[in-house]
């Protein structure tokens, strides 16, 4: 990306650890530790890791030596980038693109997938396991203008009689409504012999109103239907927002706050960037800043808290991540309430429709909160449970 070349191997979310002891950065062949790089990777894994789990990775950056200061630490283990924002964005985008591809259809179970199986580079120069490779590049900060601030929550269907899930009550202006359980256009496999056509297989049954049991070429697939549908709705809402400008909402009464010299300097130097993010922050006095406008989607939040977060990120990283993170949190809440609920009885067509959507949805292996959405039990594992072949 630009003057930064990123290569490496990124661990799948299931391989995350409680400690960050398997995280390695190399800049021009030298092992380094750097907060900008660490922040970029953490941002990329943000909505696929559960709790405080730490990803595993090895990343190799190639950059013009004149753009890197390696003399900031006696042992040269720390570096300072001339353009930290560019490096941050390149690393974050590379990891995000790698994580976007669903792992359905792998021959191994997700938990047993080799962490560092190398494949040939794709559209971006990164080596990863088969489950993680680079899809088409996606802009980090293209977000939509607005959606209803207090959407009505769709009622959960507990009767078990409905043939299809109710559509979410939210809508992005000018975009089609996401259909929760859309019957796939492609024909369904007619029997078990053709179940291998689909990576997640053919739906067999529903268990306790929570799990979908399906058969594929490897064996048995178990899907948490709420978690899976939550991710599908979440990604659809994000897609609807992509490519649209961030709408700005002027504040009736500007919110002022005592600012540090660095915050004042950042606000004055980055007016154009702030405008692109839908914000207007201007000096009110030599030591005070005034927030005069915020993104329309975040108009109900704390403008001062948002302004401080954006200015802090803008001073070191890519500030668009702050706005994107806040917007994604709202979208995640909307998706959680819009997803099909537990104890909702689904028809086989609806179950198969959900499986097909999972196969086509980015990051569908984890829900918005980082929990797995499906697991694979191979025939060999099932045979072992019953001591077959012994």
- 210's CB contacts (< 8 A; 6+ apart) are 224, 225, 226, 342, 343
Mean pLDDT of the chain, nearest integer: 76
C-alpha to C-alpha distance for 116 and 99, rounded to whole angstroms: 14
Average pLDDT over residues 118-146: 31
Strand, coil or helix: 76: coil
- 293's CB contacts (< 8 A; 6+ apart) are 248, 249, 250, 251, 278, 279, 280
Do β-strands 57-63 and 23-27 pair in parallel, antiparallel, or remain unpaired? parallel
The answer to whether 196 and 215 have CB atoms below 8 angstroms apart is no
Q: What percent of the chain has pLDDT over 90?
A: 36
Residue 28: is it exposed, middle or buried by C-beta count within 10 angstroms (0-12/13-18/19+)?
middle
Residue predicted with more confidence, 350 or 247: 350
Number of residues written out for the chain: 390
pLDDT digits (tens, 9 = 90+) for 170-211: 333 344 444 445 434 344 544 555 555 789 999 999 999 999
Do β-strands 280-285 and 248-258 pair in parallel, antiparallel, or remain unpaired? unpaired
Handedness of CA 345, 203, 364, 223 (dihedral sign): positive
Average pLDDT over residues 371-385: 94
C-alpha to C-alpha distance for 291 and 365, rounded to whole angstroms: 39
- Give the burial string for 1-12 (b: 16+ CB within 10 Å, else e): eeebebbbbbbb
Among residues 206, 201, 198, which one has the least CA distance to residue 216? 201
C-alpha to C-alpha distance for 305 and 320, rounded to whole angstroms: 15
- 115's CB contacts (< 8 A; 6+ apart) are 9, 11, 12, 15, 56, 129
Residue predicted with more confidence, 81 or 144: 81
Q: What angle do CA 320, 324, 326 make, to 5 degrees?
A: 120
- 199's CB contacts (< 8 A; 6+ apart) are 102, 104, 105, 216, 359
C-alpha to C-alpha distance for 216 and 105, rounded to whole angstroms: 9
pLDDT digits (tens, 9 = 90+) for 295-344: 887 787 889 998 998 888 777 666 666 777 777 776 787 678 778 888 88
DSSP 8-state symbol, 47: T
Structure tokens given for 112: 């047993």
- 294's CB contacts (< 8 A; 6+ apart) are 248, 249, 251, 278, 279, 301, 303, 306, 307
Q: Which residues pair with 280 in a beta bridge?
A: 293
User: Around 252, how many Cα atoms within 13 Å sit in the side-chain half-sphere?
Assistant: 1
Q: Which of 32-36, 181-185, 231-235 has the lowest mean pLDDT?
A: 181-185
C-alpha to C-alpha distance for 304 and 267, rounded to whole angstroms: 13
- Give the burial string for 70-90 (b: 16+ CB within 10 Å, else e): eeeeeeeeebebeebbbbbbb
Confidence of residue 245 (pLDDT cuts 50, 70, 90): low
C-alpha to C-alpha distance for 382 and 390, rounded to whole angstroms: 13
Handedness of CA 273, 125, 121, 92 (dihedral sign): negative
C-alpha to C-alpha distance for 79 and 38, rounded to whole angstroms: 13
Domains of the chain plus CATH, in order, are 4-112 (3.30.230.10), 139-390 (3.30.1540.20)
The answer to whether 82 and 48 have CB atoms below 8 angstroms apart is no
Confidence of residue 59 (pLDDT cuts 50, 70, 90): very high
pLDDT digits (tens, 9 = 90+) for 63-122: 998 888 887 777 778 888 988 888 998 999 999 888 888 777 565 444 323 223 333 333
Strands (E), 216-356: 219-224, 248-258, 280-285, 288-295
């Amino acid at each position: 990306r630009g003057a930064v070349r990123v290569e490496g191997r990124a661990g799948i979310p299931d391989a995350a650890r409680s400690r960050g002891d398997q995280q390695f950065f190399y800049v021009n062949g030298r092992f380094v530790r750097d907060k900008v790089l660490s922040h970029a990777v953490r941002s990329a894994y943000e909505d696929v890791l559960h709790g405080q789990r730490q990803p595993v990775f090895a990343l190799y950056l190639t950059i013009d030596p004149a753009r890197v200061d390696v003399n900031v630490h006696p042992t040269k283990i720390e570096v300072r980038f001339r353009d930290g924002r560019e490096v941050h964005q390149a690393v974050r985008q590379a990891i995000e693109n790698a994580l976007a591809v669903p792992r359905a259809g792998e021959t191994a179970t997700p938990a047993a997938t080799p962490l560092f199986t190398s494949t040939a580079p794709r559209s971006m120069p990164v080596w990863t396991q088969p489950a993680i490779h680079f899809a088409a590049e996606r802009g980090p900060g293209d977000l939509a203008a607005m959606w209803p601030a207090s959407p009505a929550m769709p009622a959960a269907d507990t009767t078990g009689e409905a043939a299809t899930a109710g559509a979410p009550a939210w809508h992005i202006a000018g975009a089609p409504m996401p259909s929760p359980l859309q019957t796939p256009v492609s024909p369904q496999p007619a029997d078990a012999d053709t179940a291998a056509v689909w990576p997640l297989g053919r739906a067999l049954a529903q268990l306790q109103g929570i799990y979908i049991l399906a058969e594929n070429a490897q064996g048995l697939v178990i899907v948490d239907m709420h978690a899976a549908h939550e991710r599908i709705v979440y990604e659809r809402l994000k897609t609807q927002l992509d490519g649209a400008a961030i709408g700005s909402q002027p504040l009736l009464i500007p919110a002022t706050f005592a600012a540090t010299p660095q915050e004042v300097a950042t606000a004055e130097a980055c007016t154009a960037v702030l405008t692109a993010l839908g914000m207007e922050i201007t000096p009110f006095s030599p030591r005070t800043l005034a927030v005069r406008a915020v993104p329309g989607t975040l108009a109900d939040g704390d403008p001062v808290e948002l302004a401080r977060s954006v200015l802090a990120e803008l001073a070191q990283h890519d500030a668009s991540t702050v706005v994107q993170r806040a917007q994604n949190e709202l979208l995640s809440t909307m998706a959680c309430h819009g997803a099909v609920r537990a104890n909702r009885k689904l028809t086989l067509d609806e179950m198969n429709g959900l499986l097909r959507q999972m196969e086509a949805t980015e990051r569908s292996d984890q829900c918005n909160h980082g929990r797995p959405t499906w697991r694979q039990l191979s025939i060999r594992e099932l045979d072992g449970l019953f001591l077959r072949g012994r």
